[in-house]
Amino acid sequence: MMIIFVILVVIASVALGFIVLVQNPKGGGLAGNIGSFGNQFMGVKQTTDVLEKGTWTFAGIIAVLAILSTLLFKNANNSDNFKKDIDKVDTRIPTK
């Protein structure tokens, strides 16, 4: 099951990277967002781009998979194996 999560995270990461690289740079950074507020206020509404929706979707998928994997696989090392390893350790004090 852990392998499935790893494969899904890798696929989502590659898709996210591809979508980010395909997008046109809009530039402006924070100043561009503040400057476009006037256009939105005057009634010109920007439509959300498909690539932007894809970016948020794949970022969300990666986040959900990461959280689920931590919840589901928090005992992935299996404490039984740890106990077996501890039992193998020789704890006797050597005598002279």
Say what the pLDDT of residue 28 is. Answer: 46
Q: Is the pLDDT of residue 62 over 90?
A: yes
Maximum average pLDDT range among 32-41, 47-56, 60-69: 60-69
- Residue located via tokens 């959300």: 48
**Model pTM score:** 0.56
* Distance separating alpha carbons of residues 44 and 5, to the nearest angstrom: 42
- Please state, in angstroms and rounded to a whole number, the distance separating the CA atoms of residues 5 and 14: 14
> Where do the domains of the chain lie?
2-88
For residue range 72-89, what is the model confidence (pLDDT) as tens digits? 887 665 556 667 777 777
The candidate with the shortest Cα–Cα distance to 23, out of 11, 35, 15, is 15
Q: Which amino acid makes up residue 6? A: V
What average pLDDT does range 9-22 have in this prediction? 90
State residue 39's pLDDT score: 47
